[in-house]
Chains A and B, each alone.
Chain A
Amino acid sequence: MTSAESMEANPLAAGLEQGRRAPPGVLVVFGASGDLTARKLMPAVASLARRRLLPSTFAVVGVARSPMSDDDFRSKLIDAVPDGGPAWAELVKGFRYVSGAYGGADTMERLKAVLEEVDADRGTSGNRLFYLATVPSVFEPVADALGAAGLNSASRPDSFVRLVIEKPFGRDLASAQHLDDALHRNFDETQIYRIDHYLGKETVQNVLALRFANAIFEPIWDRRYVDHVQITVAEALGVEHRGGFYETAGALRDIVQNHVMQVLSLTLMEPPATIDAQGIRDEKVKVLRAVKIMSVEQVPTDVVRAQYEAGWSEGIAVPGYREEDGVAPDSRTETYVAMKLEVDNWRWAGVPIFVRTGKRLPKRVTEVALQFQRVPHLPFRAHESRDLHPNALVLRIQPDEGISLRFGAKVPGQAFEVRDVLMDFSYGAAFLEEAPDAYERLLLDAMIGDPTLFIRSDEVLQSWCIVDPILTAWASKDTPLARYPAGTWGPKQADQLLAREGRRWRTP
């Protein structure tokens, strides 16, 4: 029970929809000197404050190794939010910083003392949200040290302690399992909030609204009507300055295991009984379990991996992946993956799910396309319907969030010519309310204690089960690595993956 519930209701809060306001608490950020904190977390905190969704009894405590005073930290945060104004400067005055080694017992003792001071000064009620915004190698030591210091459980009967953990959650099934066990040594699953910022995006949540708030889509959302599904996560950028990091990751780990699997599960899952944490996550994991695990032998046939070569991207000549800073000249890290997945359940049996993701593709776009089957019989003459394709329903996730439906319509005139038209719905143009940034949404959910949009342990492990055979196959030196020029839609092998079944990739 939260402290708000055990207390008398606030008579002035009636009608103010304050259910979505954060309770009192401290956000403790590990890695507070880093990029994510400055670029995403603090702007999200400032925006929540501006929208009056944070209580006055809120504070941030930063933890990292870099030596900084409280004031250094505060001025760094003020710089991180240039449009914060005096209200942000005032809020930041109550924030604190603890410098020390991540897993160190003395760091935790000092943190504990600071947290007690903050509780006394700011009325944060013993509630803590620990946010691991640092390198993955310290996730385990931090969780252990929190446990050793007794910071892993609530100090008061009605307060909460939660742990938010960033990606990557492991680098294969074994390491993910190891990390999961390590976290569970000190935290219950109900305390652990694994972030995938894709789930904070309004349009990803809208997949649920489209499917389950409308009666007309769900009946056709299956093998009887859908010919195949295409999931595209394309980036126009290369690895930029993160070549060193990318060398250890690659597209499969960086995008497929997490974002693609999340989008896939929301798109293909069965209707949940309730739109809540258990209802949704139970169904997501069910459909992930239905995704057929490939054999290692099957990988060369059903998965294409590739790397970009020098080319032209958005009008600029750009280097190939192996020429990027921090990348080995003989690197075999994939910047592109295309694959065919199968889902073995009643709804999707026999419907191939094609996934592709890559860097240095022609544009930045994330979309899910349901390609419907052809009509059983086309009652038009061939020349009248040559411009007609099967229906497609496209859920555009970014940018320009929206939905479009391709259908056939008669071309005005005497002849009965039919042609594709696109009916286009754009979220940006349909609602006045501004969608909150993904981190803002997720931070607030974590503070409120709503885990619906966070990844549960079984989901993360099942996602790794799906990609693990691919990692195993690629670990051997003789698996092929295709090439594609920067600024194109990937290698020809990816086209062949569909062409061999008489299908082709969409052009998003």
Chain B
Amino acid sequence: MADAVALNRWNGTDVRLGAVVDTMAQLRRSVARTASRTWVMTLVAIAVSDDEVYQATQVLRALGAHHPARLLVVQAQPEGGAAPGVDASVTIYGTEIDGHPLTFDEVSLLVKGDAAQHLDSIIEPFTLSDLPVVVWYPATLPSVSEPVLTKASSVLVDTKQAQDVAGLIALAGRRAVVDLSWMRLRPWREMVAALFDPPEFRPYARQITSADVTGKGGPRRLLAGWLGSRLGLPKEHMELHDARHARVVLRAGSDATFEVAREEGERLVRASAVIDGSIRHHELLPLPDDSLVWSLSEALTHLGRDRVWQQALAAGVAADAWL
């Protein structure tokens, strides 16, 4: 696949949204590329800082080349005393997949002053009719009453750095919320769960008495919340340690130890089961991808509600793990 190149660009200050939409159609016509594009959704990133805008744009661009979403980056800037208004830029990108030329467009909006409180009215003109609208918060967590959420079929967040997730739990009770951090943990959950697939190990899954979870802040606590809620482990029986590399150790009394751990210095994960002192199972697996582009694309393919995640998050909070 060829890298995406900007074919045409336009920007304007204090614009009317209708004019932006018309401009998009004109720009698209001017790049006489492909006749039609198969769309599947509108993806809206809601960013606060310039830094976030930059990062979201980079990721969406990488994704846009192979995911048929209309991409919208909205930067809300309620402070600064500016009069309500919108600055916009539109870029048409061209790339190629399997010899098919295709284009995708990217719209960036800077929403100033009080208009920032009404993002729902801002994104509506850009959403594709009849298709899901996915709203992504790259770095912050939305409050339950955020007006833009009324337009969202699904909300994407990342609890990697998040401190207070109580609001998120409330939000998840109302609409489909997908946590990118949870997506990155998915392969790890699969590897831990797989240890109990063999019939002879299965009974131990109900006999786990303690867990050690090692890793970085947010994901570590989410993983602990997951183990706690799935295995019914009280928090006193869980130990959390801060470390760069992830590791999960589950013990069933003193008889059995199950472990999934990143190999130091290698892009590999070791999964093992030791029962009555002897190694009964040992496996090396490739280290899962944890890039933002990957987790975002995972999230876009698992857009529904996830009760297991909700329970894990709640258990993480209950265990004070989030504080």
Contact = CB atoms under 8 A, between A and B. Distances in A.
Interface string A440-476: 0000000000000000000000000000000000000
B97 A55 contact: no
Contacts of A3: 199
B320 interface: no
A16 B186 contact: yes
Nearest to A423: B36
A56 B97 contact: no
8 contacts: A10-B202, A12-B196, A15-B306, A15-B308, A52-B190, A125-B199, A432-B301, A433-B301
Contacts of A432: 63, 66-67, 297, 300-301
Interface string A410-449: 0000000000011111101111110000000000000000
Contacts of A429: 37-38, 66, 68, 97-98, 100, 102
Nearest to B197: A55
Interface string B188-215: 0111111111111011011000000000
A50 B198 CA distance: 19
A432 B43 CA distance: 14
A136 B178 CA distance: 50
Contacts of B99: 400
A13 interface: yes
B38 A14 contact: no
B51 to A, nearest CB: 26
B192 A12 contact: yes
Contacts of B231: 11-12
B118 interface: no
Nearest to A400: B98
Contacts of B40: 430-431
A423 B37 CA distance: 10
A106 interface: no
A57 B100 contact: no
B281 interface: yes
Interface in B28-46: 35-38, 40
Interface stretch (A83-91, A326-334, A385-393): A83-91
Interface in A4-35: 4, 7-8, 10-16, 18, 21, 24
A432 B36 CA distance: 18
Contact of A7 (B67, B202, B297): B202
Nearest to B66: A432
A24 B98 contact: no
A434 to B, nearest CB: 10
Given A57-B197, A429-B102, A8 B286 contact: no
Contacts of A11: 205-206, 230-231
Given A16-B190, A87-B285, A24 B308 contact: no
Interface string B292-323: 00000100110000111100000000000000
Contact of B286 (A13, A87, A423, A430): A87
B110 interface: no
Contacts of A13: 193, 196-197
B199 A12 contact: no
A125 B97 CA distance: 44
Contacts of B191: 52
Contacts of A147: none
Contacts of B281: 56, 123
A219 interface: no
A50 B284 CA distance: 10
A15 B191 CA distance: 14
Nearest to B97: A429
A399 interface: yes
